[in-house]
A and B are shown apart, each in its own frame.
Chain A
Amino acid sequence: MRVALRGLTKKFGEVVGVHELDLEIRSGEFVALLGPSGCGKTTTLLMVAGIYRPTSGQIFFGDRRIDHLLPKERGIGMVFQSYALYPHMTVAENIGFPLELRRSVSNEERERRVREAAALVQVDALLDRRPAQLSGGQQQRVALARALVKRPDILLLDEPLSNLDARLRHEMRGEIKRLQKEVGITAIFVTHDQLEALTMADRVALMRDGVLQAYATPTELYARPVNQFVAEFIGTPPMNFFAADLAPRNGSLVARTEGIELALPAGPRGAKAPPTATVGIRPEHLAIVAPGQGEASGEVYVVEPMGREQIVDVQVGERRLRVIAPPGFVAKIGERVGLRFAPEQLHLFDPASGARLA
């Protein structure tokens, strides 16, 4: 089922929760609503669910406009952050509850479908337990089964992994992604964790202060962020930024600041080039080289081994740049090093608006 949001706006009194949101979700697509807390992502989800009434704008499921319908008329299944399992019911009763409300489903069919849904998420051995007797991961699975048992057109997930510990989160991440593709259901999930969004979603909608910042595949979002906020938000460790003066030289541009001089192969051309820009480069696109070589020089500030790689902070003049170094790299604090910038991986942003320049 295709989902379309058109000019969706939600105000709480004077406060704007979501502003003029336009979003198209293809049938069978898995989309993440990503952003810091208070960015309007959960508000958006609750409008799609029918819990919040939009202040203005439209929501379409397929060709049908549904923003005036009650939640129960929308054909959605939802998993809440807290899982919202009914504590007074057994697992089987929890999963069966959505069907209990449908007269067309007989008791036998309900039981069969409860078992089916439970088997799908591997909780079929727990049907007689109560939610309080389950682990966090099991509760999550039961919530998924309850959301899927009525075969909804659209699955909504609100921060589905945030209540799990790190190991379980990793496991459920893959599990939910596989399940979504296996069932082939259109799904929207809300998260504040960019890693979750990147790893699970087909496309990511990044929001800030109620406004959509970017809507693209994880690869696009990572490789070509449309503004500085997107560049900052996506990727760990985060991208390095520094202000630089731009000057033409030999028909190309050079970005210059204390301790750094970069030739820009694909900088903004001609008269449009502003005098200054914010330069961004990801830690993995910097390499530590011998002192005197590369485009910048500085000294090692701290080294953090991560096993597979090491994060090295290098002090360059006033600023500190984060670099990913191979595990074999050895350096003492204070040691002088050079930095090589991968030239195709530079991002330029307008210092005032944060918009991408090149």
Chain B
Amino acid sequence: MATVVERPPGSGRWPSLVPYVVLAVGTLPIAVLYAWLLYSSFFLRVEGFTPIGPFTLENWRFLWDPLSVPELRNRPPIIPLTINTFIFATVTSLVGVLISSMAGYAFSRLRFKGRRMMLGGVLLLHSFPSVTLLIALFVVLRTLGLYDKLAGVILVQTAFALPFGIWIMKGFFDNVPWDLEMSALVDGAGRLRTWWRIMLPLVKPGLLALTVLLFVEGWNQFLLPFVFMPSGSQQTLSTLVRGILGEGRFVDYGLLTAVGLYYIAPVLALFVFAQDQLMRIYAGGVKG
């Protein structure tokens, strides 16, 4: 449904500009950061905000000639890393959304023993800092034989994403009128089919938004891959960026900015394309 934004009556051109000016000034530092990141990647050196030397693609040569970059010589090649990151983000997001939508439905619609307690638990887990669980997780993953494997980190990342996902999906299901569900049951559908045919299509905005959010979260995740996949070949882009930054005696900032940009580009693109979907996670609702 379209939202009509109307200018409040009596307000002229100038007063309405004020909030924009305030916001623009407030946003400026962030914009400057991104601008710096962008142009630094095309110069060999930058002093403060001033680029030194001519425009160059030298920093980006890791894309076509990775072996000529000393910092990358002892690291896994960037394309497999990108694929790893992609798999990691996609699988955690899809599995997370699947489980969240089922659990969210159950929490929203079914009355079972311990429902309130479990809901409270979900909320508690959501506010639990994952760092505190690292050692326990390490033991669990080693026991399962999943330590140093992408599958293991995917499992952990998905688990951490679930409390948020379940809570969001429950909210979306709560907004679907009971009548629709009762109607589906009377029409002859079982619970599972009602969930699949009636409920899921009605929370589609939530599903899309959650998919994007969990993907971005997975893409940006650093700690878990860093801790649980120490041995190279299974690493993700975030650990590569950290590697360039952390090792060696002096840091090649040109390379760092180029790799950094390469790393955040998909996320930026996703945000640009999925903005509308992401907005809805806060608006909710199932208006057809």
Q: Which residues of A are in contact with B by a Cβ distance under 8 Å?
A: 46, 49-51, 70-72, 76-78, 80-84, 86-88, 97-98, 101-102, 130-132, 146, 150, 156
Contacts and interface: CB of A to CB of B under 8 A. Distances in A.
Interface stretch (B17-25, B97-105, B120-128, B187-195): B187-195
A84 B180 contact: yes
B288 A51 contact: no
A102 B177 contact: no
A86 B180 contact: yes
Given A50-B185, A70-B185, A130-B288, 18 more contacts: A46-B182, A49-B182, A80-B179, A80-B183, A82-B179, A84-B182, A84-B183, A86-B202, A87-B202, A87-B286, A87-B288, A88-B201, A97-B184, A97-B197, A101-B187, A101-B188, A132-B288, A150-B187
Given A84-B183, A87-B202, A131 B288 contact: yes
Contacts of B180: 84, 86
A49 B202 CA distance: 24
B178 to A, nearest CB: 9
Contacts of B179: 80-84
Contacts of A146: 187
Contacts of B208: none
B186 interface: yes
A84 B190 contact: no
Nearest to A150: B188
Nearest to B182: A51
B106 interface: no
A194 B198 CA distance: 35
Nearest to B286: A87
B89 to A, nearest CB: 28
Residue of A98, A130, A150 contacting most chain B CB atoms (<10 Å)? A98
Contacts, number: 70
A82 B287 CA distance: 14
Given A84-B180, A86-B198, A72 B185 contact: yes
A21 B149 CA distance: 64
15 contacts: A50-B186, A51-B186, A70-B185, A72-B188, A78-B182, A78-B183, A78-B186, A80-B183, A82-B177, A84-B179, A86-B202, A87-B286, A88-B201, A88-B288, A98-B187
Given A101-B193, A130-B288, A84 B177 contact: yes
Size bracket of the B interface: 20 to 34
Contact of B187 (A51, A88, A97): A97
B172 to A, nearest CB: 14
A54 to B, nearest CB: 16
A92 B227 CA distance: 55
A114 to B, nearest CB: 13
Interface in B259-288: 286-288
A277 B182 CA distance: 47
Contacts of A156: 186
Contact of B186 (A76, A81, A83, A130): A76
Nearest to A143: B183
Contacts of A97: 184, 187, 189, 197
Interface in B93-150: none
A83 B204 CA distance: 21
A38 B157 CA distance: 48
Given A49-B182, A86-B180, A88-B202, A72 B189 contact: yes
Contacts of B188: 71-72, 98, 101-102, 150
A78 B193 CA distance: 18
Contacts of A87: 202, 286-288
B92 to A, nearest CB: 28
Contact of B185 (A71, A130, A150): A71
Contacts of A82: 177, 179
A245 to B, nearest CB: 52
A3 to B, nearest CB: 16
Given A88-B288, A130-B288, A49 B193 contact: no
A84 to B, nearest CB: 4
A72 B183 contact: no
A80 B182 contact: yes
A131 to B, nearest CB: 7
A150 B177 CA distance: 23
A109 to B, nearest CB: 16
Given A86-B198, A130-B288, A131-B288, A72 B182 contact: no
Contacts of A131: 288
